[in-house]
Structure 1
Amino acid sequence: MADKKTEEQVKAGALQTLRTWGENPLPPTLLATLVTAQHMRPFQALPMLFPPALLFATYMNLNSYKIDSAGFTAALSGLYFVLAQRRKQKFANKFGARGLIRGATLGLCAANVAGCGVAYAFGSRRMEEAAR
């Protein structure tokens, strides 16, 4: 009996942690910074379309559109993750400065897809509109 209750608390705690992550304005800003660091030099046009969109997601979040911002961030993070995975990287290049930044970027994309997806899926528009 106690194990089942503890398991439910842990599950609720994990979902709440993911939802809190998804409703935070920092993850899309951090992802925009990492994408810019990767693709500014040499300039690559397609990946550089993501930072302004991610910064717009942060702007939406700060203007009390947390659920919409979470969905937009999850979609952009997932799309960037798929596009970045198409580029192959040699094993030796994974441990340089660019490789570490790329790994951090892809890890943050995965965290954003999970956290923002939960925030979007389980967000309550009534509570969001009452907060405005």
Structure 2
Amino acid sequence: MTSKPREEEAKQSALSYLRAWGESPVPPTILATLITSLHARPLQPLPLSFPPVLLASTFLNLYSYTTDSAGITAAWSGLYLLLARRRKPEHIMQKFGTRGIVRGTTMGVCGINVLAGGWVYATGKKADDGESAR
């Protein structure tokens, strides 16, 4: 029984990692949780309209609509990122407090979702691509 040399083993590229992130149902769920934790108290209705859409995207992903789910996740993550970038912290401590760290993490997950979901949506095939309409 011979083992393959390390150089011959298959390595994942950065695009493989992006595809895996974009096809996973976990990132939209994490993003919905982070957004809810930021905007539930004090209640902010506009940002709280994002978690239901992200959770619906997770539901679609679990029902094998990964390309469509990635597109929805990318679009709504991008919209939230634009909304969140409008607010600027006044003091330096607001950036490095607990709320600031959660906000930064949320914006980072949004950015990765935009890249990964956009890549999966742009290069993925939909379930009905090869079939004719009946």
Match of 1:70 in 2: 70
Secondary structure at the counterpart of residue 84 of structure 1: helix
Give RMSD over aligned pairs. Answer: 2.2
Structure 1 gap segments, 5+ residues each: 1-8
Distance in 2 (alpha carbons) for counterparts of 1:18 and 1:128: 22
Aligned residues with identical type, % of pairs: 53
Match of 2:115 in 1: 114
Q: CA deviation at 1:126?
A: 5.2
Distance in 2 (alpha carbons) for counterparts of 1:95 and 1:61: 34
Match of 2:4 in 1: none
Where in structure 1 do 4 or more consecutive aligned residues deviate above 6 Å?
127-130
Q: CA deviation at 1:128?
A: 8.6
Match of 2:97 in 1: 96
Secondary structure at the counterpart of residue 125 of structure 1: coil
Distance in 2 (alpha carbons) for counterparts of 1:37 and 1:124: 34
Distance in 2 (alpha carbons) for counterparts of 1:99 and 1:124: 38
The one-letter code sitting in structure 1 at the alignment partner of 2:62 is L
Q: CA deviation at 1:92?
A: 1.9
Count of aligned pairs between the two proteins? 122
Q: CA deviation at 1:125?
A: 2.4
Q: Which has the larger radius of gyration?
A: 2
* TM superposition score normalised by structure 2: 0.84
Distance in 2 (alpha carbons) for counterparts of 1:31 and 1:55: 9
Structure 2 gap segments, 5+ residues each: 1-9
Secondary structure at the counterpart of residue 45 of structure 1: coil
The answer as to whether partners of 1:65 and 1:128 remain within 8 angstroms in 2 is no
Match of 1:87 in 2: 87
Structure holding more helix per residue: 1
Instruction: Summarize the Cα distance change of 1:63–1:126 in structure 2 as closer, same or farther, 3 Å threshold.
Output: closer
Alignment of 1:2-81 (within 5 A): 13-81=13-81
Distance in 2 (alpha carbons) for counterparts of 1:66 and 1:53: 15
